[in-house]
Structure 1
Amino acid sequence: MKAPAAPPSVSATRWLAAGSLLGLIALGLAWELWLAPLRPGGSWLALKVLPLAIPLAGILKNRMYTYRWVSLLVWLYFTEGVVRAWSDVDGTSRVLALAEVLLCLVLFAACAWHVRLRLRHAKSHSLEGAAP
């Protein structure tokens, strides 16, 4: 017997998480290589996006464990965004830092909401199967 399909909200949170994760990766690379690098011509700080590339496959494969640990990892990038928005002198860098903060909040909310919805969906279907 095939498991019932998940509600559309679960799929929406999955794609929201994947989109915001890809957005963070793109923003980090563009920021440190072209838009407002620490040194002209780009900097090695662009490597900070490598840890974000690791969970991308797990998010796309819809692995629950990945959503859980990404919701913790994202706070490192949130902290960087807040610190740079507060302390950077360059206006472009501040705007990019605020964009990073926004993407982090979206990613966290999408991951947390996704896990909650999937657990609720699994629980409701396990209770249906247990009924006589």
Structure 2
Amino acid sequence: MANKTKFYRYVALLSHLALLLWVANWQLLVTKEHAYSVPFVVLIYLMPLLLPLHGILRGKAYTHAWANFFILFYFLHSITVLYAVPAERVYAAVELVLAVAMFTGCCVFARLRGRECGLGIGKLKDEMEREKQHFEQR
């Protein structure tokens, strides 16, 4: 694995773990008024971060790619809290930074690792030429 690929893997991994710890701390310990029950908070806020954890720890590019769908929830949550809840803006800003870091790390790692493994999609022009040659040889 190239150094650049390793760097983005560690960005994704560290921001994922930090986001998991931050959201757990914020939602379970820091918030004084609990509008929701603890099982609900765990299910809604923490479970989406736990689902891709095994694949991210093992450095699987495919897991990094689909984990981005979960990160969008935390991105939207932080933007909403930044706008709507002035008392929790600092917490939301940290969540936003961690979510953007994880999104960036996961995207770039999945792309670089996919190229290293030969999983990249070629240009349409080259693919069409290859198909044309394949069918003309028959």
Please indicate the TM-score interval, normalised by the length of the shorter structure: 0.7 to 0.9
User: TM (normalized to structure 2)?
Assistant: 0.76
Cα deviation, 1:84-125, whole Å, max 9, x if unaligned, reads 1110131xx11010111111100010011101211232339x
Q: How does 1:109-124 map to 2 (within 5 A)?
A: 109-123=104-118
- Tell which structure's C-alpha radius of gyration is larger: 2
- Pick closer, same or farther for the CA change 1:96–1:43 going to 2, 3 Å: farther
Match of 2:13 in 1: 18
Distance in structure 2 (CA, Å) of the matches to 1:87 and 1:29: 20
Cα deviation, 1:59-81, whole Å, max 9, x if unaligned, reads 11111221111112100110001
Q: Which amino acid aligns with 2:7?
A: A
**Pick from 77, 84, 89: which aligns with 2:74?**
77
Distance in structure 1 (CA, Å) of the matches to 2:31 and 2:10: 28
Distance in structure 2 (CA, Å) of the matches to 1:25 and 1:43: 18
Unmatched tracts of structure 2, length 5 or more: 120-138
* Number of residue pairs aligned between Structure 1 and Structure 2: 116
2:46 paired with 1:49: yes
Unmatched tracts of structure 1, length 5 or more: 1-5, 125-132
Q: CA RMSD in A?
A: 2.1
% identical aligned pairs: 27
Distance in structure 1 (CA, Å) of the matches to 2:115 and 2:81: 38
3-state SS of the aligned residue for 1:85? Answer: helix
Moved over 6 A (4+): none
Distance in structure 1 (CA, Å) of the matches to 2:49 and 2:110: 19
User: TM (normalized to structure 1)?
Assistant: 0.79
